[in-house]
């Protein structure tokens, strides 16, 4: 009987041990599974909250280009993108030699999109990457700049919005406000493709319409006073397209023109704000909004190939009344209804 009792107790102890081990193994398995699930959930949360990084780059600080950048950012925010994207802003501050290193830094940092503003910036972006989507803004002639092969053919990682100016409309406006102007002085930066393109179109228009012209080119803002002064005795009015370098030194240009009672017709609204007489030109707020719309579409899943290059869809029609009064130019009343009149 004792032997039976001993066997029963021994068997109970073995069963208890096996049960305890099984329970412990089950607890360990549960803990491992829970930890794995928590890790997976954390990874999924991190992935879902990781923002799309967009690099916006300017080659110089200027009101026109700043307006594009500010409008792009505000439009992205208004579209509810602030929780989805992160903006990284870089500015070469007028030193184009810095653009390649800025672009390489953005590529190394793993940005998901680059938004270069103006032609030299877009060219630097294109040279830096063939993989990261590039959406440019304010490139007058992206074909001539070597960014795309055609406006309607997107065959690489680049698209954007062109700010090609309304040359014909500007000269038609000049003919109405300054009918005595028979010879125009072209002042521009010969290193800016956007400016050279505008000037070439202006020359073609003048040649076709019997209008004479003289030109003076610059390579830096320090050249503007001398360039404009060299033409004052040979021209009746000035014309400058959307030239970033000239635009950044408009006060100097304006002083030369005003001292000689010569109007300046320009290619951008900001240049009228800075004293140019008039334009049918680029509205940089419109340009910024149009660029932001394209960025939003691509961030939301559309392909670059589905978004061919666009041209700005609305021009600014603007006259500076203070400049007109200084030059003794009377603005027709009917024109005031069709133009934005500033300086009143």
**CA-to-CA distance for 118 and 3, rounded, in angstroms?**
99
Query: Is the pLDDT confidence value at 171 over 50?
Result: yes
**CA-to-CA distance for 18 and 337, rounded, in angstroms?**
95
Query: Is the pLDDT confidence value at 149 over 70?
Result: yes
Q: Residue 272: its pLDDT value, please?
A: 96
Q: What share of the chain is helix, strand, coil (3-state, %, to 5)?
A: 50, 20, 30
50 pLDDT tier (thresholds 50, 70, 90):
confident
Q: Residue 14: its pLDDT value, please?
A: 40
Give the closest residue to 288 by CA, choosing from 54, 63, 65.
65
pLDDT over 90 percentage in the chain: 74
Joined tokens for residue 244:
């970033």
Q: Residue 194: its pLDDT value, please?
A: 85
Query: Is the pLDDT confidence value at 264 over 50?
Result: yes
Q: Which residue has the higher pLDDT, 40 or 135?
A: 135
Q: Residue 193: its pLDDT value, please?
A: 87
Q: Which domains are seen in the chain, by residue range? A: 51-163+284-313 (3.40.50.2300), 167-283+316-342 (3.40.50.2300)
DSSP string of 9-40?
HHHHHHHHHHHHHHHHHHHHHHHHHHHHHHHH
pLDDT in tens, 80-124: 999 999 999 999 998 989 999 999 999 999 999 999 999 999 999
Does the pTM exceed 0.85? no
DSSP class of 116: E
pLDDT in tens, 202-235: 999 999 999 999 999 999 999 999 999 999 999 9
Neighbouring-strand partners of residue 278: 265, 319
Joined tokens for residue 284:
């940089």
Query: Is the pLDDT confidence value at 297 over 50?
Result: yes
49 pLDDT tier (thresholds 50, 70, 90):
low
């Amino acid at each position: 009987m004792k032997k039976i009792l001993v066997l029963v107790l021994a068997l109970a102890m073995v069963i208890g041990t096996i049960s305890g081990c099984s329970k412990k193994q089950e607890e360990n398995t549960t803990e491992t599974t829970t930890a794995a699930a928590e890790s997976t959930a954390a990874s999924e949360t991190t992935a879902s909250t990781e923002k799309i990084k967009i690099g916006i780059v300017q080659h110089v600080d200027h009101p026109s280009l700043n307006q594009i950048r500010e409008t792009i950012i505000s439009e992205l925010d208004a579209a509810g993108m602030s929780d989805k994207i992160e903006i990284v802003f870089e500015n070469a501050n007028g030193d184009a030699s810095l653009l390649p290193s800025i672009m390489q830094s953005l590529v190394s940092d793993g940005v998901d999109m680059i938004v270069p503003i103006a032609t030299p910036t877009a060219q630097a972006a294109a040279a830096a990457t063939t993989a990261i989507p590039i959406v440019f803004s304010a490139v007058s002639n992206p074909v001539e700049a070597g960014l795309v092969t055609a406006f309607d053919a997107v065959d690489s990682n680049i698209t954007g919005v062109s700010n090609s100016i309304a040359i014909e409309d500007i000269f038609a406006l000049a003919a109405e406000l300054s009918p005595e102007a028979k010879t125009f002085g072209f002042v521009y930066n010969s290193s800016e493709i956007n400016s050279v393109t505008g000037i070439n179109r202006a020359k073609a228009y003048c040649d076709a319409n019997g209008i004479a012209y003289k030109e003076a080119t610059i390579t830096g803002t320090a050249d503007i006073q001398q360039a404009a002064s060299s033409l004052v005795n040979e021209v009746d009015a000035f014309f400058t397209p959307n030239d970033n370098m000239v635009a950044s030194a408009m006060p100097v240009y304006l002083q030369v023109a005003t001292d000689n009672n010569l109007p300046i017709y320009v290619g951008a609204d900001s240049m009228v704000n800075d004293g140019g007489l008039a334009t049918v030109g680029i509205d940089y707020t419109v340009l910024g909004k149009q660029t932001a719309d394209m960025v939003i579409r691509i961030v939301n899943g559309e392909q670059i190939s589905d978004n061919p290059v666009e041209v700005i869809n609305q021009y600014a029609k603007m006259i500076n009344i203070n400049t007109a009064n200084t030059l003794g130019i009377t603005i027709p009343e009917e024109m005031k209804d069709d133009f934005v009149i500033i300086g009143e």
